[in-house]
Amino acid sequence: MEISNTTSGSNAAPDKDWWRGAVIYQIYPRSYQDTNNDGIGDLAGITQRLDHIAELGADAIWISPFFTSPMKDFGYDVSNYIDIDPMFGDLASFDTMVSRAHELGVKVMIDLVLSHTSDQHAWFAESSASQDNDKHDWYVWADAKPDGGPPNNWLSIFGGPGWSWNSTRCQYYQHNFLTSQPDLNFHNQAVRDAVLEVARFWLDRGVDGFRLDTINFYFCDEQLRDNPALAPELRNAEIAPAVNPYNHQNHLYDKNRPENLAFLERFRALLDEYPAATAVGEVGDAQYGMQILQDYTKSTNRMHMCYTFDFLSGDRPTAARVGQVLQKFESEAADSWVCWAFSNHDVVRHATRWQVPGEYETQHLKLLASLLMSMRGSVCVYQGEELGLPEVEIPFEKLQDPYGIRFWPKFKGRDGCRTPMVWESTSEFAGFSSVEPWLPIDESHKQLAVAVQADDPTSLVEHYRMFLTFRKGCVPLVKGTLEDINVSGNIVSFLRTHGNETVFCAFNLSANPAKAVLPDQRECELLQGHGFDSVLSGDAVELPPYTAAYVRLG
């Protein structure tokens, strides 16, 4: 099936740079739209709801895994990379979805989970059968220590040792995640070739790019050296919850290996064979994330961009915090291109993490959305974020996530941010399904449904639509440089410049009116159409509570 990478009806050459500054809408397919009445979302449901994404103004969608899987980690445990799990549909329904997205001018990116497979993948079945078969070294196998223990001290992100014993081979296999998610051995060229062929399969089918899960986990240390301990003051819970001993190690040897760079160059070379394919890599590391971002994206023969965790933590984005993160990126990774996100399928929704209760609750979320889409980089918006959906409290007996079950009650897992999308308020299951969904829908979510907010000029979803329209007409916000980061009280400001056009951006992250001083005496024009009211006053712009201002400098 041949699918154009350009908007329907256009004969223009594909824009190879489309990803730079793109707004990517993340879809968690289990929870987007159910069309076959099993309580689980599917590919046909995504096709049905693509108009919402196009109307929002997103440039692309990123779809979390839909491949054949036993679903022990809800699709992030793949048993067949080149087929669709029946719960989501089939290859024909995938082709239909891609075709419809391209008709609407929306690119399609899919989530490739290459660091590990399911233990039900045919590759692992063969590899685990003996120590001398054709795939005996396709996974990371190691002998036990003399005392029978695992070969080193590596830990699993999901809790416990990062090794499990296989009684057929009488060896341990490595797993950074669940015991049912064995890690592939990327030191084996046949493995590297095989996963590149997986990527080629989907590129040939019409996808525009990939989100690469756990991109810094592909290689481990060939010598299997122990990770050193991490000092308590350096422990960081951005990647794993604070109750997880995974945070007690400095992960020098089970991930972040320098051998990964050559593989990423091969992956980029494959992407470059296609008219406008792209990739964003998820960098999961609290200690070395900035350096990895720089290494992985600083040249044109590696990744286009990397997905960062800096704003996925509980740290409230105060002016000081935002300024600190931006200054760090501009000073340490200025040659890199980052993909920002405030929420995703793995963290508490930011409407809850950073809630401002009371009269400014929605206004605060509007400001956060505008800030997210004004920083230098590309953007991921997680489904329901545009509605302001809060985290759902899931009772233990209804938990699905093995991560939450393992660390309950101090860490309740990821189910609360994965509940179904709400399309309408009047039906029992909010227009998502006609039967009880796989996760419960909170009644409070129904009042935030798309149908409730649509066409209400004061709603959050209408703000997203308005701001994305404004942004597309303001090239510096999409592709410009970022300079002159300034923090003054509760205001953070910076300049975005592209060519001869410079826009001053200021954000009042407080419930009090404030003034942002303009950077110089140039002529200035207060821009409109972004959903905020502000006033020029001499050499400053006056900002009401939780608002932003955009000023074009002459």
- What length does the chain have? 554
Nearest 5°: the CA angle 219, 22, 49 is 100
My answer on whether omega of the bond before 409 falls inside 30° of 0, hence cis, is yes
* CA gap 62, 77 in Å, rounded: 18
361 assigned to active site:
no
Active-site hit among 132, 134, 233, 273 = 273
- Residues sharing a CB contact under 8 Å with residue 279, sequence separation 6 or more, in sequence order: 209, 210, 211, 212, 267, 268, 271, 303, 304, 305
Tokens of 231: 């000092």
Contact 42, 36 (CB under 8 A): yes
Structure tokens at 303: 């990744």
**Cβ-Cβ contacts under 8 Å for 189 (sequence gap 6 or more):** none
Are 183 and 195 within 8 A, CB to CB? Answer: no
Q: Rounded CA gap, 110 and 133, in Å? A: 32
How far, in Å, CA of 86 to CA of 475, rounded? 42
Burial class (CB in 10 A: 0-12, 13-18, 19+), 12: exposed
Cα–Cα distance measured from residue 269 to residue 196, given in angstroms and rounded to the nearest whole number: 10
**Of 176, 163, 150, 173, nearest in space to 240 by CA:** 176
Give me the DSSP letters along 83-117: EE-TTT--HHHHHHHHHHHHHTT-EEEEEE--SB-
Q: Would you say the C-alpha torsion 383, 387, 388, 393 has a positive or negative sign?
A: negative
| Gap between the Cα atoms of 361 and 449, Å rounded | 17
Catalytic residue among 213, 285, 386, 442: 213
Give strand ranges (E) for 182-301. Answer: 209-212, 278-282
Annotated active-site residue 213? The verdict is yes
Phi, psi dihedrals of residue 485, rounded to the nearest 5°: -70, 130
Residue listed under structure tokens 């993948």 = 121
**Spatial separation of the C-alpha atoms in residues 58 and 106, rounded to whole Å:** 7
First-to-last C-alpha distance (Å) of the chain: 49
Please tell me whether the peptide bond between 86 and the residue prior to it is cis, using omega within 30 degrees of 0: no
CB 180 within 8 A of CB 119: yes
Kindly state the helix (H) or strand (E) to which residue 193 belongs, with its residue range.
Answer: helix 189-204
What residues contact 292, with CB distance under 8 A and at least 6 apart?
Answer: 216, 256, 283, 285, 306
Residues labelled catalytic = 213, 273
